[in-house]
Structure 1
Amino acid sequence: MDPPRRRDVNKSPTYKTWMKLHICDITASLVSLSPSFASESTFFFNGHPVRWVTLVGTVTSIDEQEKKILFSIDDGSGQCINAVARRDSMTGKDMPRLHSTVKAKGELELYHDAWQLKLMSLEPDVSFETQVEFWNEANENHARLAKTDARKRSKHTV
C-alpha cells in the first residue's frame, strides 16, 4: 500500500489532536510504519495518522540521568512504553513516583526501533474516576478508528 500524501495527512482530524489510545495500539503500528513518516513522530492506526497521544498507566520504573528522566508506563494492555522528559522540566510535584498512576501527554518518537513518548505534560496520581473516563474514551477511539480504514475510504482524504 502506498504511503499517504503529505497534504492528506495534514488534513486528517486525528493528526492535529490528542488521541487517547492503548499502548498496544501504538506498539503494533511499528509493523505498518511508513518510512517517509518515521522521522516525523507519526504512526498510522488503520490508516489514520497520529502524532500526539495521551496515555494513562502505572509507572513501573524510573531512571534518573544527568539531563533526562526516563520512566516506563504500563497501561494494562499488554505493552509498556518508555517516556522521556528533560530533567529541568520536571519539578518535585510533577515527578512521578514508582507504582503511581499517571496521565501522560506527548509526542511519539522512534528510539532504537521502539516507540517512546517525548513527554509534554504529566499529571501524577490520577484518580480512579479519571482512569475509567480515559479508558472509555480510548476504547471509543479504538473502535472508531478500527472500523474505518482511512486509506480505503478515499484516496484523497485521510
Structure 2
Amino acid sequence: MDPPRRRDVNKSPTYRSWMKLYISDITASLQSLSPAFASESTFFLNGNSHHPVRWIYIIGTITCIDEQHDKKIIFTIDDGSGQSINAVARRDRITTKNMPPLHSTVKAKGELELYHDAWRLNLKSLDLDIPFEAQVKFWNEANENHAHLLLEKTDARKRPKHA
C-alpha cells in the first residue's frame, strides 16, 4: 500500500481534531504507522489512510507512576480496553499540588510518539478528579468514534477498486 499523500492527510477531520479513543485502538494501529509520517507522531486508525490521527484524548486510571527521571514523570494509564499506555509529563509541569495519586482517574491529552516500538503519550494536559458523568460522556463519544471508524473501514472494503 502506498503512503497517503500529504494533502489528503491535511484535509482529514481526524487529523485536525482531538480524537477520543480507546488505548487498544491506538496500540492496534502500531502496525499501520506510515514511515513517511512517523516523525510527525501521526498514525492511521485501523490502517485506514483516511483516518490520520496525531492528537488524542483518553480517560483512564493511573496504574503506575515512575518518578525516577530528572526531567520527566511517566504515568501508566489503563482505560479498561485491555491495553495501557505510558504518558510522559515534563517534571516542571507537575507539582505536588497537581500530582495525581496512584489509582486516580484522569483525562489525558497529548501527542503520540513511538518509543522503543511502543506508543507513548507526550502530555499536553492532565486533568484530575474526572466526575463520573464526564467519564460516561467520554466513553459514549469514544464508542461513537470507534463505531464510525470501524464502519468506514468495512465500507471501504466493499467499494469497487478503480481500474
TM-score, structure 1 normalization: 0.92
Partners of 1:97 and 1:44 in 2: how far apart?
Answer: 32
Q: How many residues align?
A: 154
SS of corresponding position for 1:149 = helix
Which protein has greater RCO, CA pairs closer than 8 Å, 6+ apart?
1
Aligned partner of 2:5: which letter? R
Partners of 1:110 and 1:94 in 2: how far apart?
Answer: 26
Q: What is aligned with 1:17?
A: 17
Q: What is aligned with 2:75?
A: 71
Q: What is aligned with 1:6?
A: 6
1:93 offset after TM fit, Å?
A: 3.0
SS of corresponding position for 1:148 = helix
Partners of 1:13 and 1:22 in 2: how far apart?
Answer: 18
1:92 offset after TM fit, Å?
A: 2.7
Q: Which structure is higher in strand share?
A: 1
Instruction: After superposition, give the CA deviation of every residue in 1:45-102 in whole Å (9 maximum; x if it has no partner).
Output: 1320000000000000001121100010000000000000100011333211100000
Q: Which runs of 5+ in 1 are unaligned?
A: none
Q: 2:128 aligns with which of 119, 124, 130?
A: 124
Q: What is aligned with 2:138?
A: 134
Q: What is aligned with 2:45?
A: 45
Q: What is aligned with 2:33?
A: 33
Q: Which runs of 5+ in 2 are unaligned?
A: none
Q: CA RMSD in A?
A: 1.8
Where does structure 1 differ by over 3 angstroms across 4 or more consecutive aligned residues?
Answer: none
Q: Cα–Cα, structure 1 residues 3 and 149, in superposed 2: closer, same or farther, change >3 Å?
A: farther
TM-score, structure 2 normalization: 0.90
Aligned partner of 1:51: which letter? R
Partners of 2:57 and 2:97 in 1: how far apart?
Answer: 20
Identity of aligned residues (%): 74
Which is higher, the Rg of structure 1 or of structure 2? 2
